[in-house]
Amino acid sequence: MTDTRVISTWTEFTRNSAVYLLITFVAIKVYKFLFCCNRTSEMSSFSMATHPEALRRERILNSKLYFDVPLSKVSIIYSSAYNIFFLGIEKLHPFDSTKWGRVCKFLVSDGFLEEKSIVEPLEASMTDLLVVHSENYLNSLKSSATVARIAEVPPVAFFPNFLVQQKVLYPFRKQVGGTILAAKLATERGWAINIGGGFHHCTAERGGGFCAFADISLCVHFAFLRLRISRVMIIDLDAHQGNGHETDLGDDNRVYILDMYNPEIYPFDYRARRFIDQKVEVVSGTTTEEYLRKLDDALEVASRNFQPEMVIYNAGTDILDGDPLGRLKISPDGVTSRDEKVFRFAREKNIPLVMLTSGGYMQSSARVIADSIENLSRQGLIQTQPE
């Protein structure tokens, strides 16, 4: 009887020990697995943190700003969200903050464009913007005073930031999405026009001159990775120097910058001027004939100096005679000729072209832009009707 109890006790002890050992073994394996996963995650995070280019690459590849556009749409990008309406205070700035919508209305009413054929872009997210901008800069936009300085409208500083985000920065983020998407469309169809964008005064770390986000710099980085473009030419023909993209991209030998600007007006960024590959200065009072002659010469030189795979054309209309900020004397027909020359420059070399409307501080700018786009259509340089 005693022997039986001893054997039973020993059997139970052995079984319990086996279960204990099994549980311990499994626990050790699970711990090792979790430790390895955590270490891998930490190493991955560390790698991303210490290699900004890897993080930039990940953000670009995960972005939703590139999407397929059906052939029922043409290569003209616009959203009604581009236009800025902010309790009337937007009128305190000379920029026509409804210019973009008025351009499209002219194109539609003139029979050159159907509303349903216009491409609407997505809004650039915080992650998209971080491809170029720092977190510190983007966080600074949570201050209404900072946005007021950038937009050059002091009363904006007194409004709650959530309202400033909605009424000012959201339209800008939509236009950034349009600029980035335009590069994809241009590579597929030869050209694309964003009826907006061209915020050429904004750098990765600082906004200014009514430019809160560096859409040109962002567009270039997306094109390098997603479109496998290796050489980009920026032709900046806004009256003001494009100091934003010059600061961001000036030391990148994959980018060639032709900037034709009035040196006697904002931004007086002499440091950024050192990054311009081809500088063409047109002083206050420059007339249409002289301007177009200088442009012809500049395009010929650019053609010899650089062979781009994409052209980004910043087509500001502040060169118009009477513009209070540009101070040049270019006629509306001169703007039309200018745009046609740039499009022919790209077409003759079979280079995809992205056009951005950028600056222009007169009510007449919208009509001039629409007339120029209609001329491009008549000349067969663009197609404003679906295939």
Place of tokens 């311990």: 24
Task: State how far the Cα of 203 lies from the Cα of 201, in Å rounded to an integer.
Answer: 7
CA-based Rg of the chain, rounded to a whole angstrom? 28
Structure tokens at 240: 């003001």
Dihedral of alpha carbons 182, 152, 92, 283, sign? negative
> What does the chain come to in residues?
387
Among candidate residues 200, 201, 221, 245, the one labeled active-site is 201
In the block, which residue shows the tokens 């626990």? 27
Helices within 64-115 (DSSP H only): 99-109
Residues forming a β-bridge with 261: 281
> Residues near 28 by Cβ (< 8 Å), separated by ≥ 6?
none
**221 catalytic per annotation:** no
If DSSP states are collapsed to H, E and C, what string results for 35-69?
Answer: HHHHHHHHHHHHHHHHCHHHHHHHHHHHCCCCCCC
**273 and 246 Cβ atoms separated by less than 8 Å:** yes
**Do 280 and 235 meet the contact criterion of CB atoms below 8 Å apart?**
no
Token pair 């991955």 in the structure block, residue = 44
Give CA–CA dist 307/254, Å, rounded: 10
Cβ atoms of 319 and 326 within 8 Å: the answer is yes
User: How far is CA 55 from its chain centroid?
Assistant: 18
Instruction: List the catalytic residues.
Output: 201
